[in-house]
Amino acid sequence: MPAPNRIFHFVFLIALLSILPQCVEKESGEYVQEAIDYTDGEKYDEAMASFLKAIKRDPRNAKAYFGLGGIYNFKNMHEKAVETFKTAVQLDPTYYDAYYGLGYTYEVMGRKEEADEEYRRYRELKAKMDAFLKQEEKSR
């Protein structure tokens, strides 16, 4: 094989090897679903790893932070859970489940007043969402 042809094949192989990992990498939502499946199977370390991959893939994925907060709670890492639930509500202020998770975490930590406030936010947002969905259903 002539030298220019070998160089072309070598460059092509390098390019292919750099592109292939991007083709097989999962999307953030797929990692979240994988983490949920691991959680359902009580494989919490694997779930944590998948939630972290989801966040790495999309740092604005509120569901990934919410799920990670739940895993941190399960592992009694409550300060980290607070951080991740707060990130989830910063990314999506309408994500009422994240307020519930934050309230639960505060409750477990013995921070009753903060827990009550987060539970109040949860109930308020959930009621608004339920009313909205009910109205949407009526208009169909």
Domain ranges of the chain: 26-138
| Predicted model pTM | 0.79
Q: Which CATH class is domain 26-138?
A: mainly alpha
Q: Please list the pLDDT of the chain residue by residue as tens digits (140 residues).
A: 555 556 655 555 454 455 544 545 789 999 999 999 999 999 999 999 999 999 999 999 999 999 999 999 999 999 999 999 999 999 999 999 999 999 999 999 999 999 999 999 999 999 999 999 888 888 88
Cβ 84 vs Cβ 69: under 8 Å: yes
pLDDT at 137: 86
The predicted pLDDT at position 50 comes to: 98
pLDDT digits (tens, 9 = 90+) for 1-17: 555 556 655 555 454 45
Where do runs of H (alpha helix) occur along the chain?
3-24, 28-40, 44-57, 62-74, 78-91, 96-108, 112-138
> What pLDDT shows up at residue 6?
63
The pair phi, psi for residue 58, each rounded to 5°, is: -145, 95
